[in-house]
Copies of this chain bind each other. A is one copy, B any other.
Amino acid sequence: MSMRLPAPARREQILDVSVQVFARNGFHSTSMNDVADAAGVTKPVLYQHFDSKQDLYLALLEEAGNRLRNTVTKAVASATNGKEQTEFGFKAYFRWVAHDHDAFLLLFGSRANRDEESVSTIRRITAETAHAIAPLIAADIDSDHQRTLAHGLVGLAEGASRHLVERGEAFDPEVLGQQVADMAWAGLRAVHRG
């Protein structure tokens, strides 16, 4: 059935296919046989490219996380002031969600996996995002609260996205990004006055 592929191509194909399968069915409800079937191949082939199910899964998380981080940091870097940073940041985030949306589900969907290692990977990604946002929050509150609020803002984008993605609703990332950014920016300024 499936063509023979050179090793690197096969590896890529497995990664591509796995994102979809894991995103749709969750980690524990997806067996390696399921992945293999979806890739049009048998189980041992998977183990020629990845040491274990965990290993494969973590590779997927890592890749997805990188794409997210790159998109957002690039967008924020191109802005010239706080308000613009907020706007560009959220728009980039939602653009990523709309576009790479299996990856979003993998990282933040309700069915994402939750082992020790995956959790810490996902936490790291979230923390990095929060870290990038933190400076936007007024410096006149202590840094612990600053970080907590930053995590809140990440949750804001995440919550809105999950709502949309999980019910398969199409949405315009520019419009949504603008609205959320307006909301967040006004909120950020309110905390200033604390």
Q: Chain A interface (Cβ within 8 Å of chain B)?
A: 26-29, 110-115, 119, 122-123, 126, 130, 141, 144-145, 147-149, 151-160, 162-164, 166, 169, 171, 176, 179-180, 182-191, 193-194
Contacts and interface: CB of A to CB of B under 8 A. Distances in A.
B110 A145 contact: no
B115 A29 contact: yes
Contact of A176 (B115, B148, B155, B169): B148
A132 to B, nearest CB: 14
Query: Which 7 pairs between the two chains have the least Cβ-Cβ distance?
Result: A155-B159, A186-B190, A151-B163, A152-B160, A183-B187, A187-B187, A155-B155
Nearest to A152: B160
Nearest to A115: B29
A123 B191 CA distance: 30
Contacts of A123: 110, 166
Copies of this protein, total: 2
A151 to B, nearest CB: 4
Contacts of A152: 156-157, 159-160, 163, 180, 183
Contact of A149 (B119, B158, B183, B189): B183
B119 A163 contact: no
